[in-house]
């Protein structure tokens, strides 16, 4: 194998084996989805920063989730759009490794942010009188910084194990971006340690956090069922249902892709699941929160009224 080993300077992303007409159709569809995801998350960020009534811990974490979603989409979608227009255009080795690191870092960070948001809802509903003390701004900033730092550190570990691997031909990645499992298949060395680390990382940031979210919502459900106020009950269900929808969308696809068996499974189905994960989640998250949150709807109305009167 050593005699056939070459220094790989670029990779070719195979994407989806479709006809030229279908690729152009998908280019238009994905471009619109990409634009709307950036617009939706940008609107959420703008509302939270400009409306003082949204300066609460819940919307502070939501703003970080919007930043993750914007960066998430910008990491994978532009390269996919380029490949749809020009399938033969390669991506450099450095660009591929950067894309892998950013994707993993943002995915880990989103996992942890969703856990933090569930903890915020748990404190708000189960310990309302102590909420302002427990979820102080110092605590919120610490939780947000820890989520970003932990996500980046975990991605750095994967990158440190990936970079020393030798790559030989063919340098064709059977994916629409430099997804770590697809990249590892091109290495002409033993990748058992890398694959075990990917599985261990997936369990640590998916199964563990998801279990803690489930436990949090069991306590939340108990607290909601004990509520006497109809208005408080409706508000609790509204805020929690939004978060549960986002959690369900994110964790269900991620667990199937990375915790399920990597060998012998339906690889093309997982590729389409990851497409949904990368393209649709950033688009749906702001829609879910804006449609389910009365505070966001009220902030939009106030902003529109302010624009008309100015």
Give per-residue pLDDT as tens, 98-128: 999 999 999 999 999 999 999 999 999 889 8
Regions of the chain short of the pLDDT cut 50: 1-5, 263-264
pLDDT in tens, 225-247: 777 666 666 666 766 777 888 88
Domain that holds residue 30: 10-301
- Inside any domain, residue 306: no
pLDDT of residue 68: 95
Indicate the pairing of strand 172-173 with strand 10-13. parallel
Decide if 177 is inside a domain.
yes
DSSP classification of residue 163: T
State the pLDDT at residue 261: 65
- C-alpha distances in Å from residue 124, one per residue of 145, 210, 216, 297: 21, 19, 12, 21
- When divided into structural domains, the chain yields a total of 1
Q: At what angle do helices 281-292 and 57-85 cross, to 10 degrees?
A: 150
Handedness of CA 105, 107, 108, 113 (dihedral sign): positive
Within-domain flag for 1: no
Distance between CA 37 and CA 284 in Å, rounded? 8
User: CATH number for the domain including 138?
Assistant: 1.20.1070.10
pLDDT of residue 2: 44
Q: How far apart are CA 95 and CA 101, in angstroms?
A: 10
What pairs with residue 11 in β-bridges?
A: 91
- Residue 99, in any domain of the structure: yes
The pLDDT of residue 4 is 45
Whether residue 34 lies inside any domain: the answer is: yes
| Rounded CA separation 222/225 (Å) | 5
Is position 4 within any domain? no
What is the pLDDT, as a whole number, of residue 241? 79
Q: What is the pLDDT of residue 231?
A: 60
Please state the separation of Cα 126 from the chain's center in Å: 27
Structure pTM? Answer: 0.89
Does 223 fall in a domain? yes
Q: What is the mean pLDDT of the chain?
A: 86
Determine contact, residues 81/30, Cβ cutoff 8 Å.
yes
Identify the pLDDT of residue 20: 86
pLDDT of residue 252: 86
Whole-number Å distance between alpha carbons of 217 and 283: 25
CA-based nearest residue to 293, from 245, 250, 260:
245
Domain presence at residue 255: yes
pLDDT at position 235 is 64
């Amino acid at each position: 194998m050593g005699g056939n080993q070459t220094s790989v300077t670029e990779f070719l992303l195979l994407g989806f084996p479709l006809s030229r007409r279908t690729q152009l159709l998908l280019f238009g569809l994905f471009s619109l989805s990409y634009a709307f995801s950036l617009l939706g998350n940008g609107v959420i960020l703008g509302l939270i920063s400009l409306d003082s009534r949204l300066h609460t811990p819940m919307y502070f974490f939501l703003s970080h989730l919007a930043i993750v979603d914007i960066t998430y989409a910008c990491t994978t979608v532009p390269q996919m759009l380029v490949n749809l227009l020009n399938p033969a255009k390669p991506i450099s080795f450095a660009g591929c490794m950067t894309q892998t690191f950013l994707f993993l870092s943002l995915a880990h960070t989103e996992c942890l942010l969703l856990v933090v948001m569930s903890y915020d809802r748990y404190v708000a509903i189960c310990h309302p009188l102590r909420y302002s003390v427990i979820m102080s701004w110092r605590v919120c900033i610490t939780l947000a910084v820890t989520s970003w730092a932990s996500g980046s550190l975990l991605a750095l570990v994967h990158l440190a194990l990936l970079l020393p691997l030798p790559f030989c031909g063919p340098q064709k990645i059977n994916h629409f971006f430099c997804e770590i499992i697809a990249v590892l298949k091109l290495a002409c060395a033993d990748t058992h340690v890398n694959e075990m680390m990917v599985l261990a990382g997936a369990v640590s940031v998916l199964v563990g956090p998801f279990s803690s979210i489930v436990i949090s919502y069991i306590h939340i459900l108990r607290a909601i069922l004990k509520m006497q106020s109809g208005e408080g009950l409706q508000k609790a269900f509204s805020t929690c249902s939004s978060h549960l929808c986002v959690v369900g969308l994110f964790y269900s696809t991620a667990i199937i892709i990375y915790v399920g068996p990597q060998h012998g499974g339906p690889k093309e189905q997982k590729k389409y699941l990851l497409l949904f994960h990368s393209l649709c989640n950033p688009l749906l998250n702001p829609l879910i929160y804006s449609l389910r949150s009365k505070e966001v709807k009220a902030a939009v109305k106030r902003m529109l009224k302010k624009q008309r009167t100015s």
